[in-house]
């Protein structure tokens, strides 16, 4: 399939992706050239820009993104290869109609929590103000963020992801393989991703703190005066 | 209520808030667009500048703040909405006469410690030089920093905060909802906030370190020569 | 041995090393002026550029690198001294024919994990997507990254490293003395190093999280609604 | 005592201190305006530049330092006040003849380790390559870094510090009050400080890792293939 991308669309899309890429790169969210970003430019037919495979995401070059369709192949002539994981982006856009941007990053907390809760099949998070950062405003809300196994076969992985995601929670963890988070645009996808990362790190730190919590101030050298 | 904000006051106020905002954003203190900042411009009547709702606080635009009064509504025409939590800023200015700036941020340590000590109703901190960063110079001072429950109803939350705060400790924790810290101006509020964050992280790390502390050097592979 | 380094080769080599140096310095990977970087310019005879001894690696000066041969001495006139550890770089280039860049850094995770697994002689890592960042794509791959003792005598250290390294795993840990990681060029060596660091930190954090993991959501204050 | 500081000396001294200040500020090593830096300009009589009291050390202004003598008072007319802790800098310069720069910072690791080892009176560190960053090259060296109690009375604190420091270890911890580290110049003092901080964080992380260390790879989900 060949589709003509308007120059202004191309420029605006790449500009937004570059901004997100630089912000996340500065946080170390693309270790070892991992991770990928996409931004939808058309729903019918599905067309989205996605990071090219194997690039150092701390840098900005003229060959960092390509435009692909539903089948994850380029919609225009290019020497760039899309990431093998482009199929995961595509399945998310196909499943969640309102998704306009999909971001995939590896962090220590999202990998550790995916392994901890992997057997359970979802990470349980609750009792936290930052849940509102996911666009969930129900009081006392608890979330079950899905975790799928890290299938090496990408069609299998995409099919498993399709089974577990819905529009109520804007993200999915792959066991020991980071998170995919999305939103209606780059701004919202970034907000969702930051909220997820905060919630994961909070939960991990809280579990450790609970274990060592000593209510007795004297054990911490605190004298009440 | 409509109040005319002098152009120089406007410019100076926004300049100070932008500086604080950029510093905190670089530290990741506004995850998922959370957090808010305010700076008082008048006590009688109460008028303060506050961050507009739902903005990405890593960016500087011309629409990041608005000026509001005691009732948390704008004192001039604007298309911006103040955060729902503006009422918390207002209640702090009303309760603590000397407060000139109020900063609210979410960090992993301030959220974890608020949950750990939530049932107790206050975080006990002591035996730490950085307590002087809060303007408390009494030797051997121990602090009981109040923690209130995270009421979804903002008037209830504001009323609970009003009950527990006083001028001796320049901050209050909301359980799983970050800290509000204040000072007579932006400089002092920032100093107080940094001191609180240091004290929280210190306490959490110390609790964990105490648990694993091995006095025997040989266990750590240390040979005395 | 005296060898003439082409000006363009010199400039390109130093430019690449400077870029890596600045990136790693910003991450705090050269604590206390530790660490060193090298880039091969010729295989026959072996010639490589290496960081000069005792410099502050957060800075760029005109005297940061020198070109040395197989015996770790300069191949041109210079007042700079190569690090004593240059012999380790040399032995890696001699042992791994495809190595074109060798980077040595100290981080808390790489030092801690080297001590934890030191008696075992290797760090076992597995079940992690980022293993692909090491160029290892076999499904379910587990790695045994070698750890050698920290011999103060550099020829002994180099000989021990020669014994344990091969082309299947692009790095080696020295016990309490950081990691040496390599790749066919600066881009690949950086990717390998970032993948190793992620894997080490992941493993350490996972071990601690497993210990404190409470499956019961109520213990974490989560209410299922 | 009034002493004329040469303009070039003044400019060079302040330039060096500004560079160190910006580097440490970016690392968050001055929480809540804590910490102070000094650089010696003359031994006989003792004159050194020191950070003025109560400044935000993330900023560069024309009023950040003053020049003081042995008695910690200004040697020229100034409206600036030296920190009360200037007396600690002075006693270090008086006790360690070769000290040319003294840096004092608060970090979570240096505060936590000072409390852990406070009763023992010294932190035991050993078996670590980074000890060489302190200028100590003896193989298998173990260090006993002194920890003094945090006396609120500065002359008492200075007298206690004088008792425990010597030229073999370039630093001293104050319990829950950070570290003072020194070197013959700003470059060496920075190297020493970075090495201390690495060693403290290493020791704390190692203690926690040892506690959770599971040699069995299957517990970490690693399959040997």
**Closest-CA residue of chain D to A220:** D115
The whole-number average pLDDT for the span B179-197 is 98
Give the Cα separation of C192 and C170 in Å (integer).
Answer: 7
pLDDT above 50: residue B225: no
Q: Give the D window 116-145 contacts with B, CB below 8 Å.
A: 116, 120, 124-127, 138, 140-142
Residues from chain A that touch B178, judged by Cβ atoms under 8 A, are 129
pLDDT above 50: residue B82: yes
**Other chains touching D, judged by 3 or more CB pairs under 8 Å:** A, B, C
pLDDT above 70: residue D223: no
The whole-number average pLDDT for the span A81-104 is 96
Residue with tokens 């071990």: C207
Are the Cβ atoms of D191 and C33 closer than 8 angstroms?
Answer: yes
pLDDT above 70: residue C132: yes
The helix (H) or strand (E) run that includes residue D219 is none
How close A4 comes to chain B (CA, Å)?
A: 32
How close C207 comes to chain A (CA, Å)?
A: 9
Residue with tokens 């993330």: D58
**Closest-CA residue of chain C to B115:** C221
| pLDDT at B211 (0 to 100) | 82
pLDDT above 50: residue A225: no
| pLDDT at C224 (0 to 100) | 52
Q: Give the three-class secondary structure for B14.
A: helix
Cis peptide before C151 (omega within 30 of 0): no
Residues from chain C that touch D187, judged by Cβ atoms under 8 A, are 56
What is the number of residues in chain C? 225
Q: How crowded is the C-beta side of C37, counted as CA atoms within 13 Å?
A: 27
The number of angstroms, rounded, from the C-alpha of A32 to the middle of its chain's C-alpha atoms is 17
The whole-number average pLDDT for the span A8-32 is 96
How close D152 comes to chain C (CA, Å)?
A: 31
Phi, psi dihedrals of residue D124, rounded to the nearest 5°: -95, 120
| Tokens describing residue D131 | 């000890």
Residues from chain D that touch C84, judged by Cβ atoms under 8 A, are none
The whole-number average pLDDT for the span D129-137 is 93
Beta bridge partners of D60: none
The pLDDT mean for chain C works out to: 93
Give the closest residue to C173 by CA, choosing from C202, C141, C196, C142: C196
Report the residue from D128, D187, D213 with minimal CB separation from C207.
Answer: D213
The helix (H) or strand (E) run that includes residue D208 is helix D186-212
**Closest-CA residue of chain D to C107:** D198
Q: Tell whether C221 lies on the interface with B, counting CB pairs under 8 A.
A: yes
Are the Cβ atoms of C128 and A111 closer than 8 angstroms?
Answer: yes
Asked whether the beta carbons of C109 and C123 are under 8 A apart, the reply is no
Q: Running DSSP on this structure, what letter comes out for residue C151?
A: -
**Closest-CA residue of chain B to A213:** B207
As a whole number of Å, the end-to-end CA separation of chain B is: 76
Residues from chain C that touch A203, judged by Cβ atoms under 8 A, are 220
Angle at C163 between CA C162 and CA C167, to 5 degrees: 70
**Other chains touching C, judged by 3 or more CB pairs under 8 Å:** A, B, D
The number of angstroms, rounded, from the C-alpha of A203 to the middle of its chain's C-alpha atoms is 18
The full DSSP string for B173-197 is EETTS-EEEEESSHHHHHHHHHHHH
Residues from chain D that touch A205, judged by Cβ atoms under 8 A, are none
The whole-number average pLDDT for the span A24-41 is 96
Starting at the edge strand found earlier in the chain, the sheet holding D36-42 runs: D65-69, D47-51, D36-42, D101-105, D179-183, D171-174, D142-148, D122-126
How close C210 comes to chain B (CA, Å)?
A: 15
Are the Cβ atoms of B210 and D174 closer than 8 angstroms?
Answer: no
Give the Cα separation of D195 and D129 in Å (integer).
Answer: 10
Q: Tell whether C112 lies on the interface with D, counting CB pairs under 8 A.
A: yes
The pLDDT mean for chain A works out to: 93
pLDDT band at A127 (very low <50, low <70, confident <90, very high): confident
Residues from chain C that touch A32, judged by Cβ atoms under 8 A, are 130, 133-134, 191-192, 194-195, 198
**Closest-CA residue of chain D to B140:** D152
Residues from chain B that touch A192, judged by Cβ atoms under 8 A, are 32
pLDDT above 60: residue B215: no
Structure confidence by residue, pLDDT tens digits, C163-189: 999 999 999 999 999 999 999 999 999
The Cα-based distances of B183 to A143, B46, B92, B166, D29 in angstroms read 37, 16, 11, 12, 21
Are the Cβ atoms of C128 and A176 closer than 8 angstroms?
Answer: yes
Burial code of A33-56, b = ≥16 C-beta within 10 A, e = fewer?
bbbbbbbbbeeeebbbbbbbeebb
Among A55-59, B194-198, D23-27, where is mean pLDDT lowest? Answer: A55-59
Are the Cβ atoms of C152 and D139 closer than 8 angstroms?
Answer: yes
Asked whether the beta carbons of B63 and B16 are under 8 A apart, the reply is no
Residue with tokens 């031994």: D43
Are the Cβ atoms of B116 and A198 closer than 8 angstroms?
Answer: no
Angle at C11 between CA C5 and CA C15, to 5 degrees: 135
Better-predicted residue by pLDDT, B49 or B126: B49
Torsion of CA C37, C41, C46, C52, to 10 degrees: -30
Give the Cα separation of B161 and B181 in Å (integer).
Answer: 12
Structure confidence by residue, pLDDT tens digits, C59-110: 888 899 999 999 999 999 999 999 889 999 999 999 999 999 999 999 999 9
The whole-number average pLDDT for the span D80-85 is 90
| pLDDT at A36 (0 to 100) | 95
Give the Cα separation of B175 and B157 in Å (integer).
Answer: 11
Alpha helices (H) along A122-169: 154-164
Report the residue from A132, A187, A214 with minimal CB separation from B207.
Answer: A214
Are the Cβ atoms of B141 and A225 closer than 8 angstroms?
Answer: yes
The whole-number average pLDDT for the span D74-98 is 95
Are the Cβ atoms of C210 and D224 closer than 8 angstroms?
Answer: no
Give the Cα separation of A160 and A103 in Å (integer).
Answer: 18
**Closest-CA residue of chain B to A192:** B32
Are the Cβ atoms of A31 and C130 closer than 8 angstroms?
Answer: yes
| pLDDT at A141 (0 to 100) | 75
Give the closest residue to C144 by CA, choosing from C133, C129, C131, C157: C131
The whole-number average pLDDT for the span B144-154 is 95
| pLDDT at C219 (0 to 100) | 62
ipTM of the complex: 0.94
**Closest-CA residue of chain A to D112:** A220
Asked whether the beta carbons of C146 and C172 are under 8 A apart, the reply is yes
| pLDDT at C126 (0 to 100) | 87
- Quote the percentage of chain B above a pLDDT of 70: 95
Give the closest residue to A148 by CA, choosing from A190, A176, A125: A176
pLDDT above 70: residue D171: yes
pLDDT above 70: residue B219: no
**Other chains touching B, judged by 3 or more CB pairs under 8 Å:** A, C, D
pLDDT above 80: residue A111: yes
Sequence-separated contacts (24+) of B3-7 with Cβ below 8 Å: B3/B42, B3/B45, B3/B47, B3/B67, B3/B69, B3/B75, B3/B76, B4/B76, B5/B41, B5/B47, B5/B67, B5/B75, B5/B76
Q: Tell whether C19 lies on the interface with B, counting CB pairs under 8 A.
A: no
Are the Cβ atoms of D209 and C204 closer than 8 angstroms?
Answer: yes
What is the number of residues in chain A? 225
Give the closest residue to D2 by CA, choosing from D83, D63, D78: D78
- Count chain B–chain D contacts defined by CB atoms under 8 A: 100
pLDDT band at B84 (very low <50, low <70, confident <90, very high): confident
Structure confidence by residue, pLDDT tens digits, C74-85: 999 999 999 889
How close D119 comes to chain C (CA, Å)?
A: 25
Give the Cα separation of B66 and B125 in Å (integer).
Answer: 36
Alpha helices (H) along B84-150: 86-95, 108-116
Are the Cβ atoms of D220 and C115 closer than 8 angstroms?
Answer: no
The number of angstroms, rounded, from the C-alpha of C128 to the middle of its chain's C-alpha atoms is 20
Q: Tell whether C63 lies on the interface with B, counting CB pairs under 8 A.
A: no
Q: Tell whether A221 lies on the interface with D, counting CB pairs under 8 A.
A: yes
pLDDT above 70: residue C222: no
pLDDT above 90: residue A132: yes
The number of angstroms, rounded, from the C-alpha of D224 to the middle of its chain's C-alpha atoms is 46
Angle at D196 between CA D195 and CA D201, to 5 degrees: 100
Cis peptide before C152 (omega within 30 of 0): no
| Tokens describing residue C20 | 């890596």
How close C129 comes to chain A (CA, Å)?
A: 5
Residues from chain B that touch C115, judged by Cβ atoms under 8 A, are 221
The number of angstroms, rounded, from the C-alpha of C132 to the middle of its chain's C-alpha atoms is 17
Asked whether the beta carbons of C167 and C98 are under 8 A apart, the reply is yes
Q: Tell whether C209 lies on the interface with B, counting CB pairs under 8 A.
A: no
Give the Cα separation of A84 and A177 in Å (integer).
Answer: 14
Asked whether the beta carbons of A142 and A125 are under 8 A apart, the reply is yes
Are the Cβ atoms of A223 and B126 closer than 8 angstroms?
Answer: yes
Q: Give the three-class secondary structure for B92.
A: helix
């Amino acid at each position: 399939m060949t589709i003509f991308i308007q120059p202004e669309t191309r420029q605006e899309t790449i500009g937004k992706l570059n901004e997100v890429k630089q912000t996340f790169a500065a946080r170390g969210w693309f270790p070892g050239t991992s991770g990928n970003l996409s931004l939808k430019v058309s729903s019918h037919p599905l067309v989205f820009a996605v990071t090219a495979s194997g690039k150092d995401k701390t840098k900005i070059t003229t060959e960092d993104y390509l435009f692909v369709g539903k089948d994850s192949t380029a919609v225009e002539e290019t020497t760039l290869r899309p990431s093998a994981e482009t199929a995961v982006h595509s399945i998310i856009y196909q499943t969640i109609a309102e998704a306009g941007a999909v971001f995939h990053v590896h962090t220590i907390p999202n990998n550790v929590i995916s392994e901890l809760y992997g057997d359970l099949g979802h990470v349980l998070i609750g009792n936290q103000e930052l849940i509102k950062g996911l666009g969930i405003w129900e009081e006392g809300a608890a979330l079950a963020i899905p975790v799928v196994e890290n299938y090496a076969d990408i069609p299998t992985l995409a099919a498993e992801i399709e089974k577990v995601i819905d529009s109520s929670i804007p993200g999915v963890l792959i066991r020991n393989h980071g998170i995919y988070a999305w939103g209606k645009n780059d701004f919202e996808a970034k907000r969702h991703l930051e909220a997820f990362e905060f919630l994961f790190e909070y939960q991990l730190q809280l579990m450790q703190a609970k274990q060592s919590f000593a209510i007795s101030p004297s054990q911490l050298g605190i004298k009440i005066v």
